[in-house]
Chain A
Amino acid sequence: MISRSPGGDPPAETPILSVENLSKCFGSVDALQEVFFSVDPGEIRAVCGENGAGKSTLVKILTGVHRPDQGTVRINHQTQTLRHPQAAQQQGIALVAQELSLAPHLSVQDNIWLGNRTVPLLHRRPHLRRQARRVLDIIGLDQLDLDRPAGSLTIGERQLVEIARMLARQARVLILDEPTAGLSDVEIERIFTALKELSSRGTTIVYVTHRLGEVFELCDTVTVLRNGKSVRSCRVTEIDRDGLIELMLGQSMREMYPPSRTSTESPLLVVENLKILGWVGDFSLSESSGQIVSIAGQISSGAAQVLRAVAGLAYDATGQVRIRGQPMSLGSVRGAQESGIRFISEDRAQEGIFLKLKVLDNLIATRLGAGFLSWSALHQLASNLARRVGLDDLRLGARAGELSGGNQQKLALGRSMGQEQKGVFLMNEPTRGVDVGSRRDLYKVMRQLCDNGNLIVMTSSDLEEVVGISDIIITMYRGKLVARYARDQVTMHQVLTDITHPRFRPGERKTES
């Protein structure tokens, strides 16, 4: 019941949820303008858009956090005014938020009933236990012990329990806001299986995501938002990846990834026999400058820990690291920096940048020099760096926390740039939470860095990105290196196989480019 009409879809026969002409502005900013869309029961609907396109505003209106300035929300043909989140819950709309909201010390069973308004405070009665078991079975956690504390689960399992909790609340429409951020591919697969199962049982799913691959893998239909407007809603079969990007950006993005190059110079970074207790068994690598090297692996593979160790942030790492042939000791951030290592954390808010400090302070954080500061020189440096990563000079005085995810990442990268000494940039998940437009900018900056004689070693859980941006791809499985490929030697499928179920024992084969 979905046509290709731009700006929304015509009334379907039995939409469970529909919004019409929805608008919302914050101050002078129009967050949403005349948004239309409707979802049928059992449908999986992707909602895509860049940062600032209005996705989160839409989610907040649907879950009763914000109230629209105009327009209506209909649930089962009845116009509803969702005054507060409880009202949305009563209507069967449930949000599985990005930030996990389980109580880590309570059991799975307790967590499932936590915040449920229909059950008594002491919810140990057998029928509640049976019901909790049932919802867990539905989402594929049939092995999970109801009495395990939620804190002992993997992040993926926690996300599933979160979904189970919403099912226990009789949710008819599940809204998921970027549920796969930070999950490994195996865990993502489990979530997808659970969501497909739910959809086949008639639960409607609204799936908000940045990751275009997921749209085609999981969803039936997609609604694209751009600048607060619904640009188009259609079946995923009617559109391809490039078309989707074009809709999100409003312009064609012929080349998301800059062209690849390889280098044959003598190695800039050599890592030998790196061991990290509990993470990495025995890892070695030797790479030349001018390239982007990706280490691909699931969360448990230890890829991110390899970079942390080389950056001096792992305390129990052993092994040899040489930069330009000079040995470097592990365990000292300062020492690593002086050897030319620059680390960009995957956890921007907690470890990457100083959200409460100004953009200026962030850019010069590692560049203060000794003794007294020369503020005029530091200002000059900061505006230089800002320009190089495409940040507006005028925002130097703003707090870093006010920037979008994409701009924050540019800030984190900019801080490490512009030093005379060419070095190694270690980037964990460089584009996590970054919208498509900023992502393209970041890739461009990364490529420029390499062209200037630096080396980038990155990890990413987005395989499309790994295969797209890298010159060299190293796959890891459970703390061991599986293989090393040049970009044109490998397919996404091969990388996925390597990092999930390598058909050989890790470390036995090594493909040299």
Chain B
Amino acid sequence: MLLILTVGALATPGFISTPSLAALLTSISFIGCVAVGMTFITLSGNIMSLCLGATLSASSLIFMAGLSFGVGPALALGLGFGTLFTAAQGLLVGYLRANPIIVSIAALALLVGSADYLTGGQRIYSPEDSLVPLTGTLWGMPVEALFLLASAVIGQIILSYTRFGRHIHMVGSNLKAARAAGVSIWRTVTGSYLLAGFFTALAGILLSARYGSGDMELGVGYDYDAIAAVLVGGTAIHGGEGSVMRTLLGVAVISAIQVVLLLYGFSQQMQYLMTGLIVLTVIMLHSLGERHS
């Protein structure tokens, strides 16, 4: 599968050109940060959040609005909002055992509604050009890609080398057994959501910095691409099994397919269709695999 993809990508004219590679890397980075966050939610046994795309948009709006106080406060506001808003959902899911999908849909509606009310559906533009450090290249790499790399490494270290990370695996694998083993369920779940919110807000800030503006359309579809990447990477939809590194691979696969389609001149709709097909295929393969074992 990977081989076919690599060959297919290399055979596509224009794929290895520097501009398109840089474009690929950049677009990977936004989806990637959200996907790293989504990995935590999926691993902790809460399937996915449909709200991360909207959280990304809202963080970008708040970041843009906050720029009037300076870049530092704006960063804190944007990151803080995304992190806390998602952590609050985690609290509902972890403490009250509310259904994670329903909670995320409600949060999505809440977010879209209040954003629309507050901004009147307008874009917020960046008031100054102070965002260059968040958009340029460093050591020949887009800055966004470096942020993704850092997120992934930090995420993986948390999962593999901290007690909290192992608790996420345990809660995702078997909630009751985790409780009997003395794991605090609500702390673990809330923590997973908190991290998801943080990485999503990071993506929102990077994305708005690149476009120089923030609006609620920015994050549309990102939650879906992120869950696709998580699943393609082989993280189990029921939780307990998976890793950030696998998700990264999933992101690479999905993005490569999208770029190839784009270079061949297929429309945006075609890309959505393809992503849908990939997710369905992966879920089918996974179910078949489980039935055989």
Contact = CB atoms under 8 A, between A and B. Distances in A.
B161 A373 contact: yes
Contact of B182 (A334, A347, A371): A334
Interface in B166-201: 166-167, 169-170, 173-174, 176-182, 184
A268 B154 CA distance: 45
A350 B166 contact: no
B287 interface: no
Nearest to B162: A372
Contacts of A311: 180
B169 A361 contact: yes
A357 B174 CA distance: 9
Interface string A289-319: 0000000000000000000000101000000
Contact of B180 (A343, A357, A370, A373): A343
A365 B170 contact: yes
Contacts of A353: 174, 177
A370 B170 CA distance: 16
Contact of B163 (A337, A357, A370): A370
Given A351-B176, A355-B174, A372 B181 contact: no
A357 B161 contact: no
A369 B163 contact: yes
A351 B180 contact: yes
B180 A368 contact: no
A352 B178 CA distance: 9
Contacts of B181: 333, 365-366, 415
B48 to A, nearest CB: 18
Contacts of A415: 181
A503 to B, nearest CB: 37
Contacts of A343: 180
B175 to A, nearest CB: 9
Which of B178, B181, B241 has the most CB atoms of chain A within a 10 A radius of its CB?
Answer: B181
B240 interface: yes
A373 to B, nearest CB: 5
Contacts of A356: 173-174, 236, 240-241
Contacts of B178: 354
Interface string B140-181: 000000000000000000001111001101100110111111
Interface residues of B, number: 21
Contacts of B166: 361, 364-365, 368, 373
A333 B177 contact: no
Interface residues of A, number: 29
A345 interface: yes
B176 A350 contact: yes
Interface string B25-52: 0000000000000000000000000000
B179 to A, nearest CB: 6
Given A334-B184, A370-B163, A357 B173 contact: yes
Contacts of A372: 161-162
Contact of B174 (A354, A370, A371): A354
A375 B161 CA distance: 8
A391 to B, nearest CB: 18
Contacts of B160: 373
Contacts of A354: 169-170, 173-174, 177-178, 240
Contact of B169 (A350, A357, A370): A357
B76 to A, nearest CB: 26
Contacts of A369: 163
Contacts of B170: 354, 357, 361, 365
B163 A368 contact: yes
Contacts of B174: 350-351, 353-356
Interface string A204-215: 000000000000
Interface string A355-399: 111000100111011111101000000000000000000000000
A371 B158 CA distance: 10
Which of B173, B180, B184 has the most CB atoms of chain A within a 10 A radius of its CB?
Answer: B180
A162 to B, nearest CB: 25
A337 B240 contact: no
A350 B177 contact: yes
A272 to B, nearest CB: 24
Nearest to A368: B163
Nearest to A308: B180
Contacts of A347: 176
Contacts of B236: 356
Contact of A357 (B162, B179, B182, B240): B240
A375 B166 CA distance: 12
A313 B181 CA distance: 10
B290 to A, nearest CB: 11
Which of B170, B184, B241 has the most CB atoms of chain A within a 10 A radius of its CB?
Answer: B170
B96 to A, nearest CB: 14
B162 A373 contact: yes
A354 B181 CA distance: 10
Contacts of B180: 311, 313, 333, 343, 345, 351-352
Interface in A148-187: none
A178 to B, nearest CB: 23
A366 B161 contact: no
Interface in A312-348: 313, 333-334, 336-337, 343, 345, 347
Nearest to B184: A334
Contacts of B240: 354, 356-357
B162 A371 contact: yes
Interface string B116-160: 000000000000000000000000000000000000000000001
A353 B173 CA distance: 10
A357 B241 CA distance: 8
A479 B12 CA distance: 74
Contacts of A333: 179-182
A34 B71 CA distance: 79
Contacts of A334: 182, 184
Contacts of B162: 371-373
Given A333-B181, A350-B176, A373-B166, 7 more contacts: A333-B180, A334-B182, A334-B184, A354-B169, A356-B241, A365-B170, A372-B161
19 contacts: A333-B179, A333-B182, A334-B182, A347-B176, A350-B174, A351-B174, A351-B176, A351-B177, A354-B170, A354-B173, A354-B178, A355-B173, A361-B169, A369-B163, A372-B161, A372-B162, A373-B162, A373-B166, A415-B181
Interface of A: 311, 313, 333-334, 336-337, 343, 345, 347, 350-357, 361, 364-366, 368-373, 375, 415
